Amino acid sequence: MKIFIEPGDAKRAGVGVYYHQPVIDETGCRLPIKVERQLRSRWCWAAIASAVAAWYETMHISQVQVVDSLLTDLPAGKGLYTNEELVERNVNFKLDVALQFVHCFSHWAIGKPAFERVQFEINQGKPLGVRLEWFKGGAHYILINGYNDQDESILIEDPLHGPQVQEFYRFPANYRESGAVWTETYFTNKVTNNT
């Protein structure tokens, strides 16, 4: 038996604050949340924050507006980005900070949760953000928006590669051919003033 205790800073929502019922059909249990294709090669975080804000109805905000609001000081002179990337603001950013900005961040945890925890969150109407670290270097964020308990697969919204179904226990070791490690999980919730 595993017992999970949420950190003390995990955000709470009151009863009846917010709930979208999952859709249950032959493909499994899913949240009908759609993540737009990211507008720049490094804007996965902005695409997910925009989609989650629309899902929880905390604000209607585009990827560009998320970027404009959060990228006020760009890292200069560190050699991390080209001048063109800096001009286009095509830079990496933290998903938890973006989710906090759109009032949809509960907490994060290191690594991959149990499949049952993914089921629990989706059943509660809460999509999960995931940070993947590629075996070949670099990182990427995706969103889990459903599962199928018959074959233990997850439904993901990838802002770069589109929606996909992945076998939970093999994901992300073989994802996108090069594979990755699931390094962080971002739990979402509609954050209200009285939480």
Q: Cα–Cα distance between 190 and 126 in angstroms, integer?
A: 9
The per-residue pLDDT for 171 is 98
136, HSE (Cβ side, Cα atoms, 13 Å): 6
| pLDDT at residue 195 tops 50 | no
pLDDT tens track for 165-180: 999 999 999 999 889 9
Question: If pLDDT is split at 50, 70 and 90, which confidence band does 8 have?
Answer: low
**Inter-CA distances, 100 with 10, 105, 107, 191, Å:** 12, 5, 9, 9
Taking the domain 26-188, which CATH number applies?
Answer: 3.90.70.10
Q: Cα–Cα distance between 104 and 120 in angstroms, integer?
A: 17
| pLDDT at residue 20 tops 90 | no
Q: What is the mean pLDDT of the segment spanning 56-73?
A: 94
**Inter-CA distances, 110 with 129, 153, 182, 186, Å:** 12, 21, 9, 9
CA-based R_g, the chain, Å: 17
pLDDT tens track for 115-131: 999 999 999 999 999 99
What global pTM score does this model have? Answer: 0.88
- The dihedral built from the CA positions of residue 107, 108, 114 and 118, taken in this order, carries a sign that is positive
Q: Bridge partners of 130? A: 142, 185
Q: How is the chain classified by DSSP, letter by letter?
A: -------TT-----TTS---PPEEETTEEE----PPPPSSTT-HHHHHHHHHHHHHTS----HHHHHHHH-SS---SSSSS-HHHHHHT-----HHHHHHHTT-EEEEEESPPPHHHHHHHHHTT--EEEEEEETTS-EEEEEEEEEETTTTEEEEEETTTEEEEEETTTTTTTTTTT-EEEEEEEEE----TT-
């804000």: which residue's tokens? Answer: 53
The per-residue pLDDT for 14 is 46
In the chain, domain spans: 26-188
